[in-house]
């Protein structure tokens, strides 16, 4: 088969979306609703944390970073899907594809590391309460976050450059957006070394983060079971509940997609898993944390509602003054 010409003007064609008009309308409305919910929920959580002094803690510092990541994580993917749903031309330039792949990989990796850091924060709070402020100082929080970004950004550049050095048999990508696994499938090159490199990179980001999280929770559960009162155990465990749900959902989908042989993988399953962690998870994260948190719900109920009432009162007063 003649190799696909990979010049700077080359374009890839994304085939992930259905060509059925009715399914396209349903898909467009579904993606639009998820994207708007993601933006609203994450921006709301960032605002709530910023206006409530009680929430100025390391855990919420990481949580606002997670919301910031989720906003852009979804933004790298969903707007292009929405555009391709409406357009007949579903092509994407090589440069645009590379940028989308790079930022998607970077933000996904940062979220992996950040979830592990948040587990360590819960370990320090529950297992080392007397030293918590020293362990999770403001400087340490910033360093851990910065390290997550630097490692993820560097790893992403290497993977993207390596991916587009491969030869491709054709420009048709059976996916919703530019991601490494579907490009391996259309490659005419020997992909063994690339797959090994991807497994190692993903192993560092996802598997290592997962195991660090697991170790943290083993220590956390060990400490919780030593608490004599049932109320004390429940209170300690409830501070970790939301994080456990998010970790299970995110790490599970990442490992299914990246840590299994791609020569025998299902395109349908790959696309479903990609959509789950790229569009659904960023939407659910702030909701999960908000629903289970009294301080967040209280701030939304009182502070924001109070500000809206005050704004309406001032507008009415201004109108009467005229």
CA distance 223 to 240: 13
Residue of 31, 155, 131 whose CA lies nearest to 86:
31
Residue 62, pLDDT score: 92
| Higher local confidence (pLDDT), 19 or 139 | 139
Would you say residue 180 has pLDDT above 90?
no
Which of the four pLDDT bands, split at 50, 70 and 90, describes residue 43? very high
Closest CA to 192 of 254, 105, 262: 262
pLDDT surpassing 70 at residue 304: no
Average of pLDDT values for 9-22?
77
Q: Which of the four pLDDT bands, split at 50, 70 and 90, describes residue 36?
A: very high
pLDDT the model gives residue 8: 41
Residues above pLDDT 90, as percent of the chain: 26
Render pLDDT for 50-86 as a digit per residue (tens, 0 to 9): 888 888 889 889 999 999 999 999 999 999 989 888 8
Q: CA dihedral in degrees (232, 238, 240, 241; nearest 10)?
A: 150
List, in order, residues 6 or more apart from 250 with CB less than 8 Å away: 111, 112, 115, 277, 281
The DSSP secondary-structure symbol of 67 reads: H
Mean pLDDT of 216-220: 88
* pLDDT at residue 275 greater than cutoff 60: yes
- Residue 9 is predicted with a pLDDT of 46
**Distance separating alpha carbons of residues 216 and 218, to the nearest angstrom:** 6
Q: Is the pLDDT of residue 20 over 50?
A: yes
3-class DSSP assignment, residue 11: strand
CA distance 129 to 13: 54
pLDDT for residue 44: 87
pLDDT tens readout for residues 100-136? 999 999 999 999 899 899 999 989 988 898 899 999 9
On the question of pLDDT at 252 being above 60, the answer is yes
Could you tell me if 15 and 88 are in contact, meaning their C-beta atoms sit under 8 angstroms apart? no
Cβ distance 245 to 288 under 8 Å?
yes
Q: Which CATH architecture has domain 11-306?
A: Up-down Bundle (1.20)
Using one digit for the tens of pLDDT, what is the confidence trace for 132-175? 999 999 999 999 999 999 999 998 998 898 888 888 888 888 88
Evaluate if residue 263 carries a pLDDT over 60: no
């Amino acid at each position: 088969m003649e190799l696909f010409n990979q010049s700077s003007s080359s374009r890839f064609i994304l085939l992930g979306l259905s060509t059925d008009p009715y399914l396209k309308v349903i898909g467009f409305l579904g993606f639009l609703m998820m994207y708007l919910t993601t933006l609203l929920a994450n921006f709301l959580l960032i605002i709530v944390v910023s206006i409530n002094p009680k929430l100025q803690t390391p855990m919420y510092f990481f949580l606002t970073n997670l919301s910031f990541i989720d906003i852009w994580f979804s933004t790298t993917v969903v707007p292009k899907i929405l555009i391709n749903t409406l357009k007949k031309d579903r092509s994407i330039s090589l440069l645009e594809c590379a940028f989308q792949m790079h930022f998607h990989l970077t933000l996904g990796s940062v979220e992996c590391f950040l979830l592990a850091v948040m587990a360590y924060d819960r370990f320090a709070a529950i297992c080392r309460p007397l030293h918590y402020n020293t362990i999770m100082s403001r400087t340490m929080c910033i360093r851990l976050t910065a390290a997550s970004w630097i490692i993820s950004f560097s790893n992403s550049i290497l993977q993207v450059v390596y991916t587009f050095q491969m030869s491709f048999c054709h420009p048709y990508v059976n996916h919703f957006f530019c991601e490494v696994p579907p490009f391996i499938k259309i490659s005419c090159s020997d992909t063994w070394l690339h797959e090994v490199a991807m497994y190692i990179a993903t192993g560092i980001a996802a598997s290592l983060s997962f195991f660090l999280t697991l170790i943290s929770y083993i220590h956390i559960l060990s400490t919780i079971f030593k608490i004599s009162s049932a109320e004390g155990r429940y209170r300690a465990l409830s501070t970790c509940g939301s994080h456990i749900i998010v970790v299970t959902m995110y790490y599970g989908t990442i490992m299914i997609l990246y840590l299994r042989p791609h020569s025998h993988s299902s395109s349908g399953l790959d696309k479903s898993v990609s959509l789950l962690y790229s569009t659904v998870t960023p939407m659910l994260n702030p909701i999960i944390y908000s629903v289970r948190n009294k301080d967040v719900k209280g701030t939304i109920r009182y502070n924001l509602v109070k500000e809206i009432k005050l704004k309406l009162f001032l507008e009415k007063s201004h109108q009467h003054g005229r």
